[in-house]
Amino acid sequence: MYAFCCVKHDFRLFKLTRMTDLITISAYFRPKRIKNEEKPWNDSWHEEPSVTTLTLRLTEASVGKVKEWVDENELIICSDGIYLAALTVPQDDWLHSFLFHLGPDVDIVSPQHIKEAFDLQLKQFMKRLET
């Protein structure tokens, strides 16, 4: 959501999934008109991205890293203490950096082609480190 931040006194992008425990206040805010060219997105924001549903196995330590992408109520806790999460994510370069960010406490369950592509990228990365 693109809105005015009363703390920063400027317009900011707010991620709705990060907002918790919201309260209604009686303060009034008069919206300021801004030109489209001043908004922080380009003309392609409306295009439908290529997305995929990613199923991950997570340790308890790694659950916090995916909370932005999955509702906590949708996490499945297995009998061995491992969590399963299904996330709908963009299928682009961002996905690989996201998976690297999650670290070794996460396994890709599906889709298989994402797991294979990520494993290949990891092997190439490790090979570069060895030289």
Which of the four pLDDT bands, split at 50, 70 and 90, describes residue 115? very high
Closest CA to 54 of 121, 96, 114: 114
Q: Quick check: 68 and 98 in contact, CB under 8 A?
A: no
Neighbours of 82 (CB within 10 A): 14
Which of the four pLDDT bands, split at 50, 70 and 90, describes residue 82? very high
Shared-domain flag, residues 70 and 39? no
Shared-domain flag, residues 72 and 115? yes
Q: What is the reported pTM?
A: 0.60
Q: Quick check: 11 and 2 in contact, CB under 8 A?
A: yes
Say if residue 57's pLDDT is above 60: yes
Q: What backbone torsions phi and psi does residue 124 show, to the nearest 5 degrees?
A: -65, -40
Structural domains of the chain, count: 2
Q: Are strands 2-5 and 10-13 parallel, antiparallel or unpaired?
A: antiparallel
Shared-domain flag, residues 81 and 118? yes
Shared-domain flag, residues 30 and 75? no
Whole-angstrom Cα Rg for the chain: 19
Say if residue 130's pLDDT is above 70: yes
Residue 39: the pLDDT is 62
Shared-domain flag, residues 76 and 38? no
Domain that holds residue 11: 2-45
The model's pLDDT over 2-33, given as tens digits with 9 standing for 90+, comes to: 777 888 887 777 888 778 888 888 888 777 77
> 77: buried, middle or exposed (CB in 10 Å: 19+, 13-18, 0-12)?
exposed
The CATH code of the domain that includes 125 is 3.30.70.240
Shared-domain flag, residues 60 and 101? yes
Q: What backbone torsions phi and psi does residue 52 show, to the nearest 5 degrees?
A: -140, 155
